[in-house]
């Protein structure tokens, strides 16, 4: 694929996401989602590998099903209530729309496509799929959060935490493991969305930053399996050390940035008089923590096929993306700035207010 075509597709991807984010009409939002899907499909199949073709077909069929359900639900809403506005949803049609958006995001039990599709794609496309492609559906889910069913949101969140944790434990492929990690984090966002949508936005921003930073590490070393992680310590010791801390940050351990993604939602749940839900979420977060620690062990250990006395390079010849140092710092050391960030987010108008 030529660079001009790739640039055109990436621009279409950005335009599709922007269309959905800026729309107040369901038809425009649906068009933006379709632009996103149609723009990423040629990029996914650009490697001309059978696994990439298989992943592309699975992704297309799943997204087409979710888009059909979304369009049918919005048409039904317009037929019964005469409204196309996103912010004026009724409980009758909010449930099928939430299910369609959950399928697009990869929330369990509608997650069946995400690990398989991610496994068949290159690391860069996996990064786009698990970060950029989730922006538009998550924005729509936040906008209709006050109209959606609390029972449905809690069911999706608890199921995502359980399946994301259990599914990642036995994985040896890093792309599948990161897909299950994404499902777990989406479960945390869905859990808090009915109580405080602004906290969902906060968690989603941190999720994108930390996940993108770890994917940059994998792309730099071209690591797709856990067995390929031990040599990274001797190729780039400082980079591997920071990536080990990023893994702990993904697990939500203090005093790293990811700890705020667990602490702030739990404090909000306790404030909303649902401590049982907070206790369940913290208990289920131990499952993904297990495979995060396993990743950490593999980065820090000296295992075959390494030589007995490997020499660490003080200067790496690997080409790393330019934003890596700043994103590493944000992914590890942003916890002290959490109160300031939350204060800034709380002063912003909600998404519903901005659109109206």
The C-alpha atoms of residue 257 and residue 296 are separated, in whole angstroms, by 17
The C-alpha atoms of residue 107 and residue 160 are separated, in whole angstroms, by 6
The C-alpha atoms of residue 159 and residue 96 are separated, in whole angstroms, by 18
Residues of the chain scoring pLDDT < 70: 302-323, 345-356
- Smallest CA-to-CA distance from 38 within 21, 22, 54, 15 is with 15
- Smallest CA-to-CA distance from 342 within 157, 185, 200 is with 200
The C-alpha atoms of residue 316 and residue 24 are separated, in whole angstroms, by 49
Give the chain's end-to-end CA distance (angstroms, integer).
41
Number of structural domains the chain divides into: 1
Angle formed at CA 120 by CA 114 and CA 126, multiple of 5 degrees: 60
Report long-range pairs for 348-353 (Cβ below 8 Å, ≥24 apart). 348/198, 350/197, 350/198, 351/139, 351/142, 351/143, 351/197, 351/201, 352/87, 352/143, 352/146
pLDDT at 159: 95
SS3 content of the chain, % helix, strand, coil (to 5): 75, 0, 25
Residues 6+ apart with CB under 8 A from 17: 32, 36, 132, 135, 136
User: Cα–Cα distances in Å, from 249 out to 17, 22, 59, 190, 289?
Assistant: 28, 32, 29, 20, 10
The C-alpha atoms of residue 288 and residue 251 are separated, in whole angstroms, by 7
> What are the φ/ψ torsions at residue 290 (nearest 5 degrees)?
-60, -50
The C-alpha atoms of residue 72 and residue 86 are separated, in whole angstroms, by 14
DSSP 193-253: TTT-HHHHHHHHHHHHHHHHHHHHHHHHHT--BGGGSTTHHHH-HHHHHHHHHHHHHHHT-
| Longest CA span, the chain | 72
User: Cα–Cα distances in Å, from 82 out to 41, 94, 141, 295?
Assistant: 34, 15, 21, 52
Range of the domain at 289: 3-355
User: Cα–Cα distances in Å, from 44 out to 8, 182, 212?
Assistant: 14, 19, 18
* CA torsion angle 164 170 173 175 (round to 10): 0
3-class state of residue 85 by DSSP: strand
CB contact at 8 A, 203 and 192: yes
CB contact at 8 A, 289 and 237: no
């Amino acid at each position: 694929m030529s660079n001009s075509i790739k640039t055109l597709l990436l621009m279409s991807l950005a335009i599709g996401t922007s269309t959905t984010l800026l729309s107040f009409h369901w038809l425009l939002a649906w068009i933006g989602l379709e632009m996103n899907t149609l723009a990423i499909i040629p990029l996914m199949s650009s490697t001309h590998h059978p696994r990439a073709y298989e992943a592309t077909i699975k992704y297309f069929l799943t997204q087409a099903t979710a888009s059909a359900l979304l369009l049918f639900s919005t048409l039904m809403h317009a037929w019964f209530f005469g409204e196309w506005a996103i912010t004026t949803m009724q409980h009758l049609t909010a449930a099928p729309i939430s299910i369609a958006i959950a399928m697009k995001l990869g929330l369990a039990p509608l997650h069946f496509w995400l690990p398989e599709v991610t496994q068949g794609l290159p690391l860069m496309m996996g990064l786009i799929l698990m970060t950029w492609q989730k922006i538009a559906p998550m924005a729509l889910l936040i906008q209709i959060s006050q109209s959606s069913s609390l029972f449905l949101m809690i069911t999706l969140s608890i199921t995502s935490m359980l399946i994301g944790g259990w599914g990642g434990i036995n994985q040896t492929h890093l792309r599948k493991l990161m897909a299950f990690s994404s499902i777990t984090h989406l479960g945390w966002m869905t859990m808090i969305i009915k109580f405080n949508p602004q906290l969902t936005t906060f968690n989603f921003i941190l999720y994108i930053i930390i996940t993108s930073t770890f994917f940059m590490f994998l792309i730099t070393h071209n690591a797709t399996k856990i067995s390929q992680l031990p040599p990274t310590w001797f190729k780039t010791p400082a980079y591997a050390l920071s990536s080990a801390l990023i893994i702990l940050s993904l697990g939500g351990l203090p005093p790293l940035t990811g700890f705020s993604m667990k602490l702030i939602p739990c404090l909000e749940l306790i404030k909303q008089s649902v401590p049982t839900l907070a206790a369940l979420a913290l208990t289920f977060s131990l499952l993904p923590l297990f495979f995060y620690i396993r990743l950490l062990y593999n980065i820090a250990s000296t295992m075959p096929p390494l030589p007995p006395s490997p020499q660490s390079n003080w200067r790496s010849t690997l080409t790393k993306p330019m934003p890596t140092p700043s994103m590493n710092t944000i992914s590890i050391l942003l916890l002290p700035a959490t109160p300031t960030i939350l204060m800034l987010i709380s002063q912003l108008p909600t998404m519903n207010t901005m659109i109206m």
